[in-house]
A and B are shown apart, each in its own frame.
Chain A
Amino acid sequence: MTLWLPFVALGVLATLAGALLRVWRGPERADRMMGAQLVGTGGVAVLVLLAPVQGWAALDVALTLALLAALAAVGFVKASSPDGAGDPEEDEPPTTDPRSASEKADG
């Protein structure tokens, strides 16, 4: 058991390399965000795999990493909307909003 679990964890790390390849090559920002999300999920998988080998302390770390990976994607989504409010439902930013006015100014 103490040999098989690290071996599977190594396999999951190989998939993390695939995720980094996607981050490097990804044409759009959304692809890079997906790579980052896979790094989060892969990290959780590695921690869960190594937990039984070293006394189950890694489970709490895996739980924290699982939550933070979700917040990273939320940060990405909120940063990408025009006025920064990050409401995915809005189609066009309100015209009276000073932020979009300044954006129009600097093109």
Chain B
Amino acid sequence: MADLATYAFTGIGLFFFVAGTIGLLRFPDVFSRLHALTKADNLGLGFITLGVAFQVETWREIALLALIWALTLLAAGTVSQLVARVALREQNKR
């Protein structure tokens, strides 16, 4: 049963990862690419982390997985704001 959940969630995670990357490549504008990158890839990482969490034996791994995903979410939110501000300033400068 746990294996089935792992198959399902990692598959969904891979789908969102690929969707985020296709969005990163195909979108016309810097900010829409940033939007796709930050949201879809982190959702993909979240599903992959959830899928792997079903294979866990001890509590340490679950704590590590939750910490990884939480920190990645925080980092991605902050970093996308900063990069968008830099891109906006460079566009205004031109």
Report yes or no: B17 in contact with A45, Cβ–Cβ below 8 A. Answer: yes
Does more than half of chain A's interface fall in helix, strand or loop, or is it mixed? helix
Given contacts A66-B75, A73-B83, are A37 and B37 in contact (CB under 8 A)? yes
B residues apposed to A, CB below 8 Å: 3, 6-7, 10-11, 13-14, 17-18, 20-22, 24-25, 30, 33-34, 37, 41-42, 44-45, 48-49, 52, 55-56, 61, 64-65, 67-68, 71-72, 75-76, 78-79, 82-87, 89-90
User: Across chains A and B, which 3 residue pairs bring their CB atoms closest together, nearest first?
Assistant: A70-B75, A30-B87, A15-B21
A-B contact pairs, 15 of them (CB 8 A): A4-B7, A8-B10, A34-B33, A38-B21, A41-B41, A48-B48, A48-B52, A48-B68, A60-B64, A63-B67, A66-B71, A66-B75, A69-B75, A70-B78, A77-B83
A residues apposed to B, CB below 8 Å: 1, 4-5, 8, 11-12, 14-15, 18-19, 21-22, 28-31, 33-35, 37-38, 41-42, 44-45, 48-49, 51-52, 56, 59-60, 62-63, 66-67, 69-70, 73-74, 76-77, 80, 88
